[in-house]
Amino acid sequence: MTKNKTNLEDIVSLAKRRGFIYQGSEVYGGISGFYDYGPFGVSLKRNITNLWWRMFVDGRDDVFGIDAAIIMNPKVWKASGHVDTFTDPLVECNNCNSRFRADKIDISKCPNCSKLGTFGKAKMFNMMFKTNVGPIDSEDSIAYLRPETAQGIFTNYKNIVDTIYPDMPFGVAQIGKAFRNEISPRDFIFRVRELEQMEIEYFVHPDDWEKSFEKWRADIYEWFRALGLDEAKIHELDVPDSDRAHYSKRTIDFEYDFPIGKEELMGLAYRTDFDLLNIQKATGKSMEYIQKGSNNKFVPHVIEPSFGVERAMMAVLAEAYTEDEINGEKRIFLKLPTELAPVKFCVSPLLKNKPELVKKAREIYTILQKKYHNVMWDDNGNIGKRYRRQDEIGTPKCVVIDFDTLTDGTVTVRDRDTTKQKRLAVKDL
């Protein structure tokens, strides 16, 4: 019997046990909202971001990549509206002094101490992290860690147009860190204070935004399929006016059935010309695009597909987490798409105390490592324990070198999902 539905505790336990994700600064007691990625976690995360870049940048001729600085001129955040509007409602319990987002709890009862009627009036709390640039700590040296990667794209729009003059429509993409001083980080890596975004700002003629919006809507489902997500667990929420960001005229939140419930996985927003007009007004520099072969000038409108790396990773882990029974024993494995698996092959000698098997296994390991790179050597414990360990890592194939390998040049290849084994010639690997 196979169990696909899981809970958050299963994911957290596996992530820690198998070196995917650790609590940040754990040895010092941790720090809320920050996580570190272990050897397999960083590999899975990189596979996700590499896949995204191949699909949306390298695989297209209308999207160009950049890598903007994390700390920008503070005028950027004033012009974009973040200084005034990037806020959440904060309430504090008068009994235990715990702080919470007012829109995420029942404010009649404190979730921490269970006291009734202890909350004061909600205050708006700006989520940007402040820092100081330069040797003098003063109001003039205040800067911010960016709360989103989008503004780094908008501030470089004119540079892109002036240097490569792309045809309209075109997109600019980047993958990078963003920082949000969340009032109450929660649910493992779902809501954190340090996050990574994969974002595209797609510049279009104002008359064509709906066509581009629908095209991106379809492309997003291609992304979900590439991640191996079940489309039945994907839901679209057309965000109402009252809940949309200040810059958006239309937004679709793509929600996923996480172990914590139906929550936002990513978003698709129509930002109009809000950002470019703000830059034009604040700097006095024209953000107009001149249509090639004509004198037609316009400030482009923007479609923004915004992808969170951590939420994509959490969805992938939740989708892949599977339990079944093998010979009456419970087995846990990650049914990851091969392209995302942190390890593609695991190579083992059947017995690690037999030098001839170890030598041959090392030869085969070296061959596979050169071709596939993400290949693991494992000779720890008996072969059954190795299989279970690799199943939890999500390794699609285990290659075992035994005494038959020395005589006929074949190896045992074991499949993660079915546990079936077959003999293959080394040259056919």
Report how far Cα 272 is from the mean position of its chain's Cα atoms. 25
pLDDT of residue 1: 47
DSSP one-letter code for 109:
B
Query: At 327, is the pLDDT very low, low, confident or very high (cuts 50, 70, 90)?
Result: confident
- What is the mean pLDDT of the segment spanning 236-263? 91
Helix extents (H) in 169-267: 209-226
pLDDT of residue 2: 53
Name beta bridge partners: 347. Answer: 377, 399
CA dihedral 84, 86, 89, 95 (to 10 degrees): -100
Nearest residue to 48 via CA among 341, 356, 289, 407:
341
Here the tokens at position 137 are 């700590």
Query: At 191, is the pLDDT very low, low, confident or very high (cuts 50, 70, 90)?
Result: very high
Report how far Cα 344 is from the mean position of its chain's Cα atoms. 20
CA distance 2 to 248: 43
pLDDT of residue 184: 87
Helices 8-17 & 309-320, crossing angle to 10 degrees?
100
Helix extents (H) in 201-347: 209-226, 274-283, 309-320
Query: At 126, is the pLDDT very low, low, confident or very high (cuts 50, 70, 90)?
Result: confident
Q: Is 104 exposed, middle or buried (0-12, 13-18, 19+ CB in 10 A)?
A: middle
Query: At 137, is the pLDDT very low, low, confident or very high (cuts 50, 70, 90)?
Result: confident
Q: How many residues are recorded in the chain?
A: 429
CA dihedral 235, 11, 2, 375 (to 10 degrees): 110
Domains assigned to the chain? 8-75+135-318 (3.30.930.10), 343-428 (3.40.50.800)
DSSP one-letter code for 130:
E
- What is the mean pLDDT of the segment spanning 278-287? 95
- What is the mean pLDDT of the segment spanning 246-251? 85
> HSE on the CB side for 303, CA within 13 Å?
25
pLDDT tens across 8-44, in order?
Answer: 999 999 999 999 999 999 999 999 999 999 999 999 9
Report the helix count and the strand count for the chain, using DSSP H and E.
12, 23
CA distance 135 to 129: 19
pTM score, whole prediction: 0.92
Pairing type for strands 397-401 and 345-349 reads: parallel
Query: At 351, is the pLDDT very low, low, confident or very high (cuts 50, 70, 90)?
Result: very high
CA distance 132 to 4: 48
The per-residue pLDDT of the chain, averaged, comes to 93
Pairing type for strands 194-204 and 170-179 reads: antiparallel
pLDDT of residue 234: 97
CA distance 393 to 389: 6
